[in-house]
Amino acid sequence: MVKVAVAGAAGHMGGRVVHAVYGQPEAELAGAFDAPGDAAVGKSLAGVVGLAGAEGVVTDDAAEAIAQAQVLIDFTAPGASVKHLKECAAQGKAAVIGTTGMSDNQKKIIASQAKKVPVVFAPNMSVGMNLMFKQVADMARVLGPDYALEVVEAHHDHKKDAPSGTAVRLIEELCQVRGWEYDEVCRHGRVGMTGARTKDELGVSVIRGGDIVGEHTVYFIARGERLELTHRAHSRDTFAQGAVRAALWVVEREPGLYDMQDVLGLKD
């Protein structure tokens, strides 16, 4: 049994991670916490996440929850995730981080802490989405430069970062194949007299509204045909289950920075 601590237990993702831990026979919930002052702190975990049988209460003591666990799963906010990872590194505990919207400096901190403990850091924990990361690169490579590339992503209206971390990863995969620099080729939306589309251009469109869990489409467009590769997440459970899978995997690793491609054995 792998003992797991969950950060942000009262959040949309944290609650689903708690459910996923209880649904995985090889995992055991060691602690669930949220930010000091959060309305859920001190309340029954079962009541907060809507899971009969969930034991204990939601605490605000991250250090204690991490101390009771072998690995932390964190889908909170950039600053909080970095703080929690530092605590994991200080205690010698593994971590799985699915938080998006990290600054370059925060990513550097994560990489430095991963020299002390094993860390899975990925913008999307879905098994299907991680297969798509590999597929878009293969498709771009085979189709070649005559196919224009466009990325469209859609999320709920509470999503704070745009484009999504998943969309950024898709773009990075496409740019690597084409030999492009991300900031030089991305066109984030189009308005007005933009002129004709250039050959070295990657369009990025963002949709926000309602309760869309997450949708990502990559278009490969040439004269005479168009290919579309789409991933639609029906619920947050797909990310939560992937995170628990990553947690079971990472506790056996040496210190280092990993992603879901490593967890799933998709790297060449």
Q: Is the domain of 117 the same as that of 182?
A: no
Q: Is the domain of 21 the same as that of 110?
A: yes
Q: How confident is the model at residue 267 (pLDDT cuts 50, 70, 90)?
A: confident
Given a cut of 80, is residue 245 above it in pLDDT?
A: yes
Q: Is the domain of 7 the same as that of 116?
A: yes
The C-alpha atoms of residue 95 and residue 211 are separated, in whole angstroms, by: 28
Q: Is the domain of 176 the same as that of 194?
A: yes
CA-CA distances (angstroms) from residue 151 to 91, 138, 197?
Answer: 40, 16, 15
Torsion angle defined by CA atoms of residues 112, 113, 114 and 115, in that order, rounded to the nearest 10 degrees = 70
Q: pLDDT for 70-121, tens place per residue?
A: 999 999 999 999 999 999 999 999 999 999 889 999 999 999 999 999 999 9
List, in sequence order, every residue forming a beta bridge with 224; answer none if it has no partner: none
Q: pLDDT for 171-226, tens place per residue?
A: 999 999 999 999 999 999 999 999 999 999 999 999 999 999 999 999 999 999 99
User: Cα dihedral sign for 133, 131, 26, 23?
Assistant: positive
Question: What 3-state DSSP class applies to 163?
Answer: coil
Q: What pLDDT sits at residue 184?
A: 96
Strand order in the sheet with 214-222: 186-188, 202-208, 148-155, 214-222, 225-233
Q: Is the domain of 159 the same as that of 225?
A: yes
Q: pLDDT for 121-177, tens place per residue?
A: 998 999 999 999 999 999 999 999 999 999 999 999 999 999 999 999 999 999 999
Q: Is the domain of 199 the same as that of 217?
A: yes
Question: What 3-state DSSP class applies to 246?
Answer: helix
pTM attached to this predicted model? 0.85
Q: Is the domain of 74 the same as that of 139?
A: no
Q: pLDDT for 37-78, tens place per residue?
A: 999 999 999 999 999 989 999 999 999 999 999 999 999 999
**Structural domain total, the chain:** 2
The C-alpha atoms of residue 88 and residue 18 are separated, in whole angstroms, by: 19
Q: What pLDDT sits at residue 185?
A: 96
Q: Is the domain of 209 the same as that of 248?
A: no
Q: Is the domain of 229 the same as that of 258?
A: no
Q: Is the domain of 103 the same as that of 8?
A: yes
End-to-end CA distance of the chain: 30
- The amino acid occupying position 68 is Q
Strands 148-155 and 214-222, sheet pairing: antiparallel
Residues classed as catalytic: 155, 159
Question: What 3-state DSSP class applies to 72?
Answer: strand
Count other C-beta atoms under 10 Å from residue 241's C-beta.
Answer: 21
Q: What pLDDT sits at residue 138?
A: 95
Structural element, H or E, at residue 184:
helix 182-185
Range of the domain at 228: 127-233
Q: Which residue has the tokens 């098994």?
A: 127
Q: Is the domain of 149 the same as that of 110?
A: no
Q: What pLDDT sits at residue 268?
A: 66
Nearest CA among 160, 168, 88, 154 for reference residue 124: 168
Domain holding 50: CATH number? 3.40.50.720
Q: Is the domain of 242 the same as that of 173?
A: no
Domain holding 139: CATH number? 3.30.360.10
What's the Rg (C-alpha) of the chain? 20
